[in-house]
Chain A
Amino acid sequence: MTERVTATTKPYTIGRPPFRPGEDADFGGKFTEQPGDLNRPDPLTCSAQDTVPHSTGLVRVLDDNGTASGEWNPMLDAETLIQGLEYMMRLRIFDDRMIKMQRTGKLSFYMRSFGEEAIAIAQTMALETQDWIFPSYRQPGAQFVRGRDMVSMICHCIGNTEDNVKGRQMPVHYTWKPGRFISISSPVGTQFSQAVGVAMASAYKGDDEVCISWLGDGTSAQGDYHYALNFASTFKPPVILNVVNNQWAISTHANLATGGRTFAERGLAYDIPSIRVDGNDFLALYSVTKWARQRAGAGLGATHIEVYTYRAGAHSSSDDPSAYRPNEEFKHWPGGDPILRLKEHLIATKLWDEKRHEALAKKIDDEVMASYKAACEFGDLASGPYPPASTIFTEVYETVPWHVQEQREELGK
């Protein structure tokens, strides 16, 4: 567990990140926590108190050599593992291509999941298809697991005539009801307590559904985070609440945003079983989420998960992290790269090789390029066509009221 560093203590304490630009980003090499350190409690009898070690430790399955071990090893078959790798590669290649498009003026804005690909993908794979996904802007990868077509995603990012949200939202603010992927909102954290409401509705209706939601380390300062934990603690609906601690909230490091030790520990005060997991370890994420799903599905209520990871890229295409952290920080992150770690594991277990990896990467890249071109058939950012201006006025209410109708006629489009 990283100790909090403070720069000044008087007149009040100001935290500081581990490193600033120009400093040597040395996290001390590897995590001290190892796979096998922590037991896997019985999900059906586990109390919050039983997870005290899990809330301050770190659940890992893959060690630094790509070997899987310990009670949390989900023992996934080759097909599932390769599928997980493919989804993660797909997300990274997609993001890389989209950020290039943004830089060349073909998208107005973009946000990558770089370094955090395992999170939404492993966690969504661990759920059932009827479960609800209530994401922040850093979990678009869940859509790949649920089978969303890339062309449809790119059409949204361009905001063209095939954008299913009709050009109303900024890029990456996906909505996709067929995949039970609820609409992403820019105000951070609002989804977290809403997710508890979604889960209460599932419980009320008697449906076997779980809702999963995520917010960031920075966002856990918002009231919505605490509302979620308290309502989840009170009503015990089937919900999985994840704090993605990727160290950085734009320029603000977690050390400046809390005086606490781990984010996971906070859940214990609400009597919610709470686990801290290596967010770059696909297997550990899958396993912890499956465990939380079992609890939720059995009517035992919420699980609170701190996903310990690193935001390898900029916050968004509007951000320049070199102004506030060393550029090479990610290279030194003890959790490494989630894609490389699963790849190494697959190679070590003879399920995969470099040649297949390269071929798959090429295939995905071709697919992304073809999808981008196909999406542009429905309009590109420079020249359109865009959704008609009439979409400004529709779906504000169920039916268009007279005053909005008058304004639509005034615009005359």
Chain B
Amino acid sequence: MVEMNMIKSLNSALEVQLSKDKNVVIFGEDVGFFGGVFRVTDGLQKKFGEHRVFDSPLAEGGIAAIAMGMGLNGLRPVAEIQFADYIFPAYDQIVNEIAKVRHRSGGEFTAPLTFRTPAGGGIKGGHHHSQSPEAQFTHTPGLKVVYCSTPYNAKGLLASAIECNDPVIFFEPKRCYRGPFYGDPHNVPTWSGHPDSDVPEEHYTVPLEEARIVREGSACTVIAWGTMVHVSEQAIKDSGIDCELIDLQTLVPWDRDTVVNSIKKTGRCVIVHEAPKTSGFGAEMSASIQERCFYHLEAPITRVTGWDTPFPHTTEWDYLPSPARIAEAIKKTQEE
């Protein structure tokens, strides 16, 4: 075990995969010589050569299409989209091509590939460096959608994503690259000393499709992913209520059993995500939960989310779900 922040653990995952499988190639904007604007691919070009880790032209649509072509012909590309906000020129390739090729070709062709992309707010990134567009991909059959939250699960989930024969959209909460974020912009710790910063240097996987119970509890189930896992952890502390916290980790296909079993125990549920509420993934979960837990629910399922507005710059702390908003929602579930 070595102490790593999320940037180092993702880098380690990529290094292990490049060593293990000669068909893995990495490319994207600024990922080669420079090692990525967030330094996730630092040192990989030097170690594995310029044809395995390289800078691409600045064109996300091109990056996606080239990755698909490589995947069709036997490679296992891991492409970086520099910010999730910039994935949309690639949307046609992802939604109409990459997600559907296995099905449309009767299973003859597949495109096993991973798009890594930093997502989420909390870095004063304004409209276009803050969005969390997971729901725009969970609504597309054929894609697996993953959202890591700690150095440990980042490395293990990325390994699973790369080894997966389906295309995976892999979201990295950029606010948590260097430390967990508990909702206080004036007090941002590093990963140092956090139990989830102990990361094996060697290969391991965290399975896709399995949620992680961060904290066991009996009074309310709180479900989150990405940065909101840590913000929710703080909110639970602040509320003083014995909540069970579930880090969903994989959104498609999500670990419904773990969630349903938890809610059958607690009878209450708060879903937290930073993306806007309308058609957010919380809506899908909420519908599924009531289908299966209706007679166990003691209170309405509540969502605490980003607002149905563009992500702001100056006022981002009023946009992102805060520990206070989440704690209030938790308390409200106890009143019913």
Minimum Cβ distance to chain B for residue A14 (Å): 5
Residue in B30, B88, B308 whose CB lies within 8 Å of A403:
B308
* Interfacial chain B residues near A333, Cβ < 8 Å: none
Minimum Cβ distance to chain B for residue A111 (Å): 13
CB pair A407 B129 closer than 8 Å: no
* Interfacial chain A residues near B58, Cβ < 8 Å: 188, 218-219, 221-222, 249, 252, 257
Minimum Cβ distance to chain A for residue B305 (Å): 9
CB pair A14 B315 closer than 8 Å: no
Bound-state CA distance A389–B88 (Å) is 28
Minimum Cβ distance to chain A for residue B237 (Å): 22
CB of A180 within 8 Å of the partner chain: no
CB of B128 within 8 Å of the partner chain: yes
Bound-state CA distance A160–B315 (Å) is 10
* Interfacial chain B residues near A56, Cβ < 8 Å: none
Which 4 A-B pairs give the minimum distances between C-beta atoms?
A167-B314, A251-B34, A186-B128, A221-B57
**Segment from A4-12, A196-204, A300-308, A369-377 that makes contact with B:** A4-12
CB of A330 within 8 Å of the partner chain: no
CB pair A250 B34 closer than 8 Å: yes
CB pair A168 B85 closer than 8 Å: no
**Segment from B48-56, B145-153, B206-214, B254-262 that makes contact with A:** B48-56
A-B contact pairs, 29 of them (CB 8 A): A160-B314, A167-B312, A168-B126, A168-B312, A170-B125, A170-B129, A186-B85, A188-B58, A221-B62, A222-B59, A222-B61, A222-B89, A223-B89, A249-B29, A249-B58, A250-B37, A251-B37, A252-B34, A256-B32, A387-B314, A387-B315, A392-B309, A393-B307, A393-B309, A403-B308, A407-B307, A407-B308, A411-B318, A413-B318
Residue in A7, A167, A391 whose CB lies within 8 Å of B50:
A7
Number of interface residues of A (CB under 8 A): 53
Tell me whether A8 and B51 are in contact in the complex, defined as CB-CB below 8 angstroms, given that A223-B89, A387-B315, A391-B312 are known contacts. yes
Bound-state CA distance A224–B85 (Å) is 16
Near B by CB (< 8 A), chain A positions 342-395 give 386-389, 391-393
CB of B124 within 8 Å of the partner chain: yes
CB of A278 within 8 Å of the partner chain: no
Bound-state CA distance A263–B71 (Å) is 31
CB pair B126 A323 closer than 8 Å: no
CB of A187 within 8 Å of the partner chain: yes
Near A by CB (< 8 A), chain B positions 80-98 give 85-86, 88-89
Minimum Cβ distance to chain A for residue B30 (Å): 5
Near B by CB (< 8 A), chain A positions 317-335 give 318-319, 323-324
CB pair B51 A389 closer than 8 Å: no
Residue in A251, A391, A408 whose CB lies within 8 Å of B55:
A251
Of all chain B residues, the one with the shortest Cβ separation from A20 is: B33
CB pair B307 A392 closer than 8 Å: yes
Residue pairs across A and B with CB atoms within 8 Å: the count is 128
* Interfacial chain B residues near A252, Cβ < 8 Å: 29-30, 34, 55, 57-58
Bound-state CA distance A188–B61 (Å) is 13
Residue interface bits A79-116, CB-to-B below 8 A is 1, else 0: 00000000000000000000000000000110000000
CB pair A404 B309 closer than 8 Å: yes
* Interfacial chain B residues near A404, Cβ < 8 Å: 307-309
Bound-state CA distance A8–B125 (Å) is 36
Residue in B57, B86, B89, B313 whose CB lies within 8 Å of A168:
B313
Minimum Cβ distance to chain B for residue A69 (Å): 37
Bound-state CA distance A198–B36 (Å) is 35
CB pair B85 A187 closer than 8 Å: yes
Minimum Cβ distance to chain A for residue B26 (Å): 13
Near B by CB (< 8 A), chain A positions 128-171 give 159-160, 163, 166-170
Minimum Cβ distance to chain B for residue A397 (Å): 10
Bound-state CA distance A303–B176 (Å) is 46
CB pair B307 A411 closer than 8 Å: yes
Bound-state CA distance A30–B223 (Å) is 63
Minimum Cβ distance to chain A for residue B62 (Å): 7
Minimum Cβ distance to chain A for residue B119 (Å): 15
CB of A185 within 8 Å of the partner chain: yes
Minimum Cβ distance to chain A for residue B315 (Å): 5
CB pair A386 B307 closer than 8 Å: no
* Interfacial chain B residues near A391, Cβ < 8 Å: 312, 315
CB of B194 within 8 Å of the partner chain: no
* Interfacial chain B residues near A324, Cβ < 8 Å: 33-34
* Interfacial chain A residues near B313, Cβ < 8 Å: 108, 159, 167-170
Of all chain A residues, the one with the shortest Cβ separation from B317 is: A389
Minimum Cβ distance to chain B for residue A222 (Å): 5
Of all chain A residues, the one with the shortest Cβ separation from B82 is: A250
* Interfacial chain B residues near A109, Cβ < 8 Å: 124
Of all chain A residues, the one with the shortest Cβ separation from B59 is: A221
CB of A258 within 8 Å of the partner chain: yes
CB of A54 within 8 Å of the partner chain: no
